[in-house]
Structure 1
Amino acid sequence: MTDNDKTQVFRRAAERGGTRSFTRSAPDDEDRRETRMFERGGGPAGTPAEAEEPEGPARARRRRHPVRRFVLWTIALLLLVALLIPGGTWVAIWYTARLDDRPPSDAIIVLGASQFNGTPSQIFQARLEHAAELYESGVADQIVTVGGSQPGDLFTEAGSGRDWLVETGVPETSITALDVGSDTLQSIQAVSEVFTERGWSTAIIVTDPWHSLRSRVIAGDYGIDAVTSPTRSGPAVWSRETQINYITRETGALIYYRIFGTSTDVAIDAV
């Protein structure tokens, strides 16, 4: 065999699982030498095994990476949830605002809004007009108005609503006025007590479109099987800017309620 021929040399450790060295020499005119090292595992002879990486800084860094990746994925997941919950709630409020359900029910619930010396505000009047329409259509033979008063008021929201409905032709015997409640939660709590006393279970809630979902959720939590038939007129739906503001504030109010189970201090106009 000449010097230019390739030479292969094999060295095998005495024990299985040792190191096998494979050396291949290049011809003399090529100034290079190539050596390949293979680690054989503890299995039977001839079983291929993966090479074991030498201990060093790179390998140590890779051992720390799983913890780092876990932390990063956890942070990313929390950020995703923080974005999805408000976004999903915003869309749900927008979607529910477009629903108009009118099944036969035990009563129509009109949530109160501002009144001025016994005269319903424009937003409140829009709700009362819609409730009167539902009553005339025969979906329920009882209307419940609810809402208390502000300090210094001589009239309550519920009483003002009842008087307005009576003036428009709804029999007073078909109206129950609950003069309590300064927010949605307190109002629904008062209504639920009347429903329990009278054996009612189903209701149509009349309020502004953007307030529909939160009202329905709270009513469900207090045992009322409620649907919503929101108003389609009044200041609450006059402009796109107003609608976006209402939806955004209702998003915060609903998330707050779902987390803490109480009303939020975020001001929601006319609610």
Structure 2
Amino acid sequence: MADLVGRAVGALLLTAVLLVVSTATAIWWTARQDARPASDAIVVLGSAQYNGVPSSIFAARLEHALRLYAEGVAPVIVTVGGRADGDQYTEAASGRAYLADAGIPGESLLAVEEGVDTLESMRAVGTAFDERGWSSAVLVTDPWHALRAERMAEDAGITADSSPTRQGPAVQTRTTQFRYILRETAAYLLYRATGESVAGAPGIG
């Protein structure tokens, strides 16, 4: 009996390890992809802002979105993200202002100023897409965040591809990359298991 229980526990542990490894591998693989199909909109996932000025992580995403827009990937850039406690500005509004200052016309910008994490924001984006009859998007975020962002977008009814940034603090060192992959693995597995998101470092919630 004890031997049978030991085998069962061993099998469960092996399954858990394989699940974690396969998820981390999928995150790593998705991070290396760069899909840019013609879409209804480019969606920039929000990150921290300081008095209306995007953080370095957020600015890297916005710069990447500018390049995609210039390439004709989509006619609209959607910035996403709500307001943290004590903030005067939302992430979405800060991102929109940054893009407007870069020369993007107002009719090509949409700020979805809702959500304190990726899941809430993506659900709000899904509603905005439904209202406008849009269905497809290219997501701009950090490489390690791409898989979970795609999954949440698809669950919100959006046909989503991702074009991750290749610059900024999230990709500077191997140690940073490894830490982000570990966090994203935990966050992705939590979402798949519970349907809920988790707050954390920029790009993790």
Q: TM-score, normalised by structure 2?
A: 0.96
2:190–2:196 Cα contact (<8 Å) kept: yes
Q: Give unpaired runs (5+ residues) of structure 2.
A: none
Q: How many residues are matched?
A: 204
Partner of 1:175: 109
For 1:157, which of 91, 116, 122 is the aligned residue?
91
Q: Percent identity?
A: 53
| Bigger share in helix | 2
Structure 1 CA distance for aligned equivalents of residues 17 and 81 of structure 2? 35
Query: CA–CA distance in 2 between the matches of 1:115 and 1:165?
Result: 14
Q: Which amino acid aligns with 1:235?
A: P
1:210 maps to: 144
Instruction: For residue 71 of structure 1, report the CA deviation from its aligned partner.
Output: 3.2
Greater strand content: 1
State how far apart, in whole Å, the 2-side matches of 1:141 and 1:226 are: 16
TM-score by length of 1: 0.73
Counterpart position of 1:23:
none
User: How far off its partner does 1:83 sit?
Assistant: 0.6
Query: Match for residue 130 of structure 1?
Result: 64
Please report how far the alpha carbon of residue 73 of structure 1 lies from its aligned counterpart in structure 2 after TM superposition: 3.2
1:93-140 Cα deviation digits (max 9, x unpaired): 111000000000011000100111111111000000000110110010
Aligned residue number for residue 96 of structure 1: 30
Deviations 1:36-70 (A, max 9, x none): xxxxxxxxxxxxxxxxxxxxxxxxxxxxxxx5554
Name the SS of the counterpart of 2:42 in structure 1: strand
Return the alpha-carbon distance in structure 2 between the equivalents of residues 213 and 262 of structure 1.
Answer: 15
Amino acid at match of 1:268: A
* Partner of residue 192, structure 1: 126
1:224 aligns with 2:169: no
1:251 aligns with 2:185: yes
Structure 1 outlier segments of 4+, above 3 Å: 67-73
Counterpart mapping for 1:1-271 below 5 A: 70-265=4-199, 267-271=200-204
Q: SS of the residue aligned with 2:78?
A: strand
Distance, in Å, in 2 between the alignment partners of 1:195 and 1:77 is 44
> Shift of residue 169 of structure 1?
1.1
**More relative contact order in 1 or in 2 (CA 8 Å, sep 6+)?**
2
SS of the counterpart of 2:98?
Answer: helix
Separation in structure 2 between the aligned mates of residue 148 and residue 77 of structure 1, nearest angstrom:
43
The answer (yes or no) to whether the contact 2:117–2:198 under 8 Å persists in 1 is no
